[in-house]
Amino acid sequence: MYKFLIRPFLFLKNPESAHYFTFGTVRKLFKIPGVSAIASSLFNFKNPELEVECFGLKFPNPVGLAAGFDKDAKLFNELSAFGFGFIEIGTLTPKAQDGNPRPRLFRLPDDMSLINRMGFNNEGVEGAITRLKVKKTKVLIGGNIGKNKVTPNELAVDDYVYCYNALQPYVDYFVVNVSSPNTPNLRELQDKEPLTALLNTLQNRKKEIKAEQPILLKIAPDLTNSQLDDIIDIVKETGIDGLIATNTTISRDGLKTPGQTVSQIGAGGLSGASVRERSTEVISYLHKNSGGAFPIIGVGGILTAEDAIAKLEAGASLVQVYTGFIYEGPAMVKKINKGILRWKKAQQKA
């Protein structure tokens, strides 16, 4: 139904308009008594063998929703009915910001991909907190944090600490986002010296307030092997809890979409099936060269159970979806979890 009726209708709209239309529709529907229960019965798939213990947390299943879909924590209660094992909100910044000018979100249907240059548009961390305070669901929530566009890199640590402190009582884990390609110079914070300083500051704050929430780092797929080696060293040196691999890519290699169309779209991060292979390569490299020293959440190009399993086989402990959810629809999470369960059972028999 989604692919043949709902998706074609949504794809008639501007991608960002379609996103907000979907948001509004879901919120209205879930206000009708019984809709949440019906959605849960349709889209949830529970099995004890899907449970994953990671970062000191117990996940009911390994499939989460990546940051960017519910930036301002407006829909996580409703989204939990679609079977996610965890939901990541954000990226949130200390102050509200509009992000980059529109249009800033583009579909590449021939590639089952998106290009976005949103630019951390969000209502600010305090706005999200007002909604997190009245959380109605038990779903695990991650807080993805970043810096405001106007904050220079040399002061970026203050923005991350501000968001960390503010979200502390309301999220189950933190994600430090220094890998979006859509905030000028942000990726420079992935360099060894500034990144080590940033993560050490957050780790010290965590110890100071005796916080338990794990801190993860989200990295780009465009890093070289040498840079990935640095990331491994940084994770070990700072003692953070793990990585999310990967964010969107600035590469345009191997696209089916005509080059002229891609050029007209311009700058932005590419997500979806087009980044699947590179994301899995990064996960595999990190896992092998770290000796499995820390957990990894795999994200990038997951549309099927096979895509998710490839990332788990490469070394990921958990996975996240976003672009695939837009292309495949709400039944996607259940299908992936069923596929992962079959894979796990096959492994046990082998």
Which residue(s) pair with 65 in the sheet? 87, 321
Burial (Cβ within 10 Å: 0-12, 13-18, ≥19) of residue 3:
exposed
Q: Of the residues 36, 80, 180, 274, which is catalytic?
A: 180
Rounded to whole angstroms, the Cα distance separating 323 from 6 reads 16
Mean pLDDT score, 111-120: 98
- Per-residue pLDDT band at 135 (split at 50, 70, 90): confident
If you write DSSP's letter for every residue of 250-285 in order, what string do you get?
S--TT-SS-HHHHHHH-S-EEEEGGGHHHHHHHHHH
For the residues 21-47, what does the mean pLDDT come to?
97
214 Cβ contact list (under 8 Å, min separation 6): 55, 56, 57, 173, 174, 240, 241, 242
CATH no. for 2-345? 3.20.20.70
Determine the Cα–Cα distance for residues 179 and 223; give it in Å rounded to an integer.
Answer: 10
- Mean pLDDT, the chain, whole residue set: 98
> Is pLDDT at 349 greater than 90 in this prediction?
no
Count of beta carbons in the 10 Å neighbourhood of residue 5: 9
pLDDT band at 136 (very low <50, low <70, confident <90, very high): confident
Collapsing DSSP to helix, strand or coil, 78 comes out as: helix
**Closest to 220 (Cα-Cα) out of 244, 253, 254, 192:** 244
pLDDT of residue 330: 96
Domain ranges of the chain: 2-345
Is residue 345 over pLDDT 80? yes
290 has catalytic annotation: no
**Percentage with pLDDT > 90 across the chain:** 98
Is pLDDT of 143 > 90?
A: yes
Answer yes or no: is pLDDT of 350 > 80: no
Banded model confidence at residue 226, pLDDT cuts 50, 70, 90:
very high
Alpha helices in the chain (DSSP H): 7-10, 15-29, 35-43, 76-79, 125-132, 156-167, 192-208, 225-238, 259-265, 276-290, 305-314, 323-328, 332-349
**Average pLDDT in the 239-260 region?**
98
- Yes or no: say if 186 and 159 are a contact pair by the CB < 8 Å rule: no
Query: pLDDT at residue 86 above 80?
Result: yes
pLDDT at residue 162 in the model: 99
Residue in the block written with tokens 């996610």: 84
pLDDT band at 193 (very low <50, low <70, confident <90, very high): very high
